[in-house]
Structure 1
Amino acid sequence: MSELLECVETGARDNATASVIWLHGLGADGHDFEPIVPELRLPAGLPVRFVFPHAPVRPVTLNGGMSMRAWYDIIALGGNAQQDADGIRDSEQKVHALIRRENERGIPTDRIVLAGFSQGGAIALHTGVRYPERLAGIMGLSTYLPLADTVPAERNEANAGTPVLMAHGTEDPVLPLQMGANSRAQLDGMGYSVEWHDYPMQHQVCLEEIQAISAWLQRVLG
Structure 2
Amino acid sequence: MHTKNNKTAGRELTKDSKVLVMIHGRGGSAEDILSLSAHLDVKDFTLMAPQATNHSWYPYSFMAPLSQNEPWLTLALTLLKDMVKDLSYKGIPTEKIYFLGFSQGACLALEFVTRNATRYGGVVAFTGGLIGDKIYTEHYNGDFAQTPVFIGTGDPDPHVPVERVYATTNILKDMNASVMEKVYTGMGHTINQDEIEKANQTIFNAATIQQ
What TM-score range do you get, normalising by the shorter chain? 0.7 to 0.9
Percent of paired sites with the same residue = 22
- Per the alignment, in what secondary structure is the counterpart of residue 136 of structure 2? helix
2:5/2:51 contact within 8 Å kept = yes
Letter in 2 for 1:56: T
Q: For 2:156 and 2:139, locate their aligned partners in 1 and report how far apart those are by CA, in whole Å.
A: 32
- Count matched residues: 203
Q: Confirm whether residue 141 of structure 1 aligns to residue 126 of structure 2.
A: yes
1:134/1:162 contact within 8 Å kept = yes
Deviation at 1:190, TM superposition (A): 4.9
Structure 1 stretches of 4+ moved >4 Å: none
Q: For 2:20 and 2:139, locate their aligned partners in 1 and report how far apart those are by CA, in whole Å.
A: 24
Q: Confirm whether residue 91 of structure 1 aligns to residue 76 of structure 2.
A: yes
1:20/1:50 contact within 8 Å kept = yes
Compared CA separation, residues 220 and 129, structure 1 to 2 (3 A) = farther
1:45-194 correspondence runs (5 A): 47-57=44-54, 69-74=55-60, 76=61, 78=63, 81-83=64-66, 84-131=69-116, 133-147=118-132, 149-151=135-137, 153-159=138-144, 161-194=146-179
1:130/1:159 contact within 8 Å kept = no
Tell me the TM-score normalised to structure 1 length. Answer: 0.79
CA-based RMSD of the aligned residues comes to 2.6
- Per the alignment, in what secondary structure is the counterpart of residue 33 of structure 2? coil
Deviation at 1:142, TM superposition (A): 0.4
Q: Deviations over 1:88-137 (max 9, x none)?
A: 22211100111122223432221001221111111111110222653222
- Per the alignment, in what secondary structure is the counterpart of residue 181 of structure 1? helix
2:141/2:175 contact within 8 Å kept = no
Deviation at 1:53, TM superposition (A): 0.9
Q: For 2:197 and 2:170, locate their aligned partners in 1 and report how far apart those are by CA, in whole Å.
A: 24
Q: Deviations over 1:41-90 (max 9, x none)?
A: 34x6xx21111110122xxxxxxxxxxx211121x565xx4232542222
1:20/1:48 contact within 8 Å kept = yes
Structure 1, gaps ≥5 residues long: 58-68
Tell me the TM-score normalised to structure 2 length. Answer: 0.82
Deviation at 1:220, TM superposition (A): 4.7
Q: Deviations over 1:122-175 (max 9, x none)?
A: 111111022265322222210111145333x33232435322221102242232
Compared CA separation, residues 113 and 39, structure 1 to 2 (3 A) = same
